[in-house]
Each structure stands twice: as C-alpha cells, then as structure tokens.
Structure 1
C-alpha cells in the first residue's frame, strides 16, 4: 500500500486589491522567514493565486525570484518547492548566522547610544505574556521573535548586512516550520532581557554573547525536533541528523 505524503496547507497570506509582484514577493518572504511553509512543501501557482486573489503572473515572478536566490527549489508541475533540511546544512547556516548577527549587534551598539530601546522591551514583554509551558500560540511567538531580532539588527543601520541576515533567515525559515508543530517551546526571555540590558549599557560584545546563547538554545530545540522527525529527501531517504 502506498503511503500518503504529508498534507500541506497554504498559510494565511495578505491579499491586496492589486497584488503586485512586489506585494506578493514581500508576503512570501515574510511567510517563509516565519516558518509558515514546511520543508518539502510545494508552492503551486494555482493555490497561491487563489490565496492572493491575483493572476498567475505575479506569483510566477515571485517564485522565480526566490528560486533564483536558492530560497526555493524549482519543481515541475509544482512551480517551486521549499527545500528539505539536513543537519549538516543547518549547522553550516548556523555558523554564518552567528558571524553576521553578532556583528550587527556590535555595530548597533555604536549607532544606538543614547536612544530609547523601550520598543524592544515591549516586544519582549508580549513574548513573555505567551505562556510557553502550555498550549501556546507558537506561530505568534515565532513572529514576535522575528520582530525582536530584526529590530535589534536594524540598529546597525547597515543595509548590506541586513540584506545578508534576511537571506539567512529565509533559508532558516523552513526550520521554524518544524517548531510550529510543537505545543511547547522553551523561551529565551532571559537572553532577550540580557541583549537589551547590554545594548543600553553600550556593551556590544556582551550583547552579542547573549544573542549567541539565544540562537544556540533555539537550535538545540531544532536539532532535537529534526532528530525525531520523519523528513525525507527527494530520493525518499530519511534525512540524517
């Protein structure tokens, strides 16, 4: 008996009256970074066109852009597909992320001297209100986490670095799709508090160390999820952890 493949759903996407290429592209990027799409999920023109309330053209162009920068894989009859995950690739991505995101914080300290960081505390407090020890709204938590991190990195005021970090988060987003299935997520609020405290003190290296702990703790969860998952590669072989 043939086994059925995983059931994929199109996440909520914000349609607009025009649904221009730039709007569709921005919405798909945001959804991918937030883990709204799962590893191996097909990105079909027809389904996405319905979700956006638009024609195939802006969908096709957006998928081509994302495929061109290796965020999606080209797939016949499916337009594109979210790549699968390997532990080796995840470790490589982690190393590069740490280099760039630590640098963003170090530069951000110099740019943010004397500025109020209350908006960062507001994001952190919203995350803390989500009781992660019970049936939490994991999607909302991950979205707030993304908002917090990018607010911190934007302090660097370096567009080139921000584009690089965004590209890495787009690659890492499919991993978050695994975390969305968990009913419990161990939060790193202590690290977020430390990041803000050290930023306000002007201590870039200490803030970067707190950021690294935050990222590493999150990846420990991800590797644990990947280890017990039943993901397979395109050949049908189980992905090793």
Structure 2
C-alpha cells in the first residue's frame, strides 16, 4: 500500500523471509493471499511479482477508487465529530511538516498519507466498504513507487485541507469531491510518469 515495491518487481521468498524475520511458510501463505486479492500475480517458475498494470487497468482502478473512496467520505461526513476532524487536521499538518522539511522523507510521507486516508474512510462506519478500499490500495500502492522515485509526491496532499474544511462545515459532497480530486491528480502524475517508461527491476 505504501509504495515500497514497484510494478514488475519479483517477490523473492528468501529475501522476504529474511526481511520479516520469519520462515518461508507464513511468507508463502501471505503471497498466495495477495495473489488472490490481485495485489500480486503468478510469474514463471512458480514465482510471484508485483503486476505491471496496463493503462486500461490503471484507469479502471482509478474509476473504482473514485466511486468507493468518494462514497466513504460522504458517509464519514454524516458521523464525524469535532475530535475526528481535529485528528485528520493533525495528520495533515504532519504531511505539511514533512513537505517543508529540509530533506523530504518519502517513507514517512507515505505513512502519514495512508493514515490520513484510512482514518477518514474508517469514519464511514462501513467495514465492508473499508475492506474493499484496502484491496484497491493493495492493487494501486506500487504505482506510488513511481511517484516516490520521481519525487512527485510533494504537494500531493494539497486537497486534504479542503477535505477537512468541508467536513468541518458539514459538507459531505464537497469533502467527497475534494478527496476524488486528490486521487485524480495523483493518477494524472502517475500516467505522465508511466509514459516516460516503466523502470526496470529484475
């Protein structure tokens, strides 16, 4: 979800087991579950890798994200409290701090961006919708690697303050539209990056 892996990258069992300090069995089970979720795909010689999505697949993923995440925000607006809005504002301020830091910490930025989104979506109080969004993020997360590699993530959260302001005003439709614009702008940058060519990873 956080863009640690890039499209086309192979998932090597030995490397993952070492990185997570565990045996092959739980890693293999996790990889199989991610294949079922569409976050990974089978590759030759019984290996798995991050899918390298086609432009149509990415556009389809974008369309489904807009529907589901936009709906989550509309429902969130009906139940969020002033404390919830304050929490979102705090998470967004952390993104501001990272953006203005002397050295841009990509990993921390992605971490707080994900926290902002899922804190927001959880306010919809719909577990089925939240699980659906998690799967969509699993599928689209590696595309963030392209933005991170090109340092195109900075200024990527500028719509968050609009989301928070609309929630504070009780404007669920406005909050939803601001969130969808946030997603659209990220994907526009992704498409521009992809047109320059996929990065190689063997």
Question: Is the structural similarity TM-score above 0.5?
Answer: yes
CA contact (8 A) 1:38 1:178 kept: yes
2:165 is matched with which residue? 197
1:229 is matched with which residue? 197
1:81 pairs with 2:49: yes
2:109 is matched with which residue? 141
Task: Rate the CA distance shift 1:136–1:214 in 2: closer, same or farther, 3 A.
Answer: same
2:22 is matched with which residue? 54
1:36 is matched with which residue? 4
1:185 pairs with 2:153: yes
CA distance in 2, matches of 1:205, 1:117: 16
CA distance in 2, matches of 1:204, 1:155: 12
Question: Which runs of 5 or more residues in structure 1 are unaligned?
Answer: 1-32, 233-241
Q: Which has the higher helix share?
A: 2
Task: Rate the CA distance shift 1:52–1:133 in 2: closer, same or farther, 3 A.
Answer: closer
TM superposition shift of 1:75: 2.4
1:103 is matched with which residue? 71
Q: Output the TM-score relative to the length of structure 2.
A: 0.91
1:49-105 deviations in whole A, cap 9, x for unaligned? 111121111011111111122211122446311111222111111011000011001
TM superposition shift of 1:144: 1.4
Specify which of 98, 112, 118 is matched with residue 150 of structure 1: 118
Q: What's the C-alpha RMSD, in Å, of the aligned pairs?
A: 1.9
CA contact (8 A) 1:108 1:154 kept: yes
1:160 is matched with which residue? 128
1:160-185 deviations in whole A, cap 9, x for unaligned? 00011111111101101111212343
Question: Which runs of 5 or more residues in structure 2 are unaligned?
Answer: none
Task: Rate the CA distance shift 1:61–1:95 in 2: closer, same or farther, 3 A.
Answer: same
Q: Output the TM-score relative to the length of structure 1.
A: 0.77
1:111-161 deviations in whole A, cap 9, x for unaligned? 115544211111111111123697522222122111111111111010000
Alignment length, in residue pairs? 200
CA contact (8 A) 1:135 1:184 kept: no
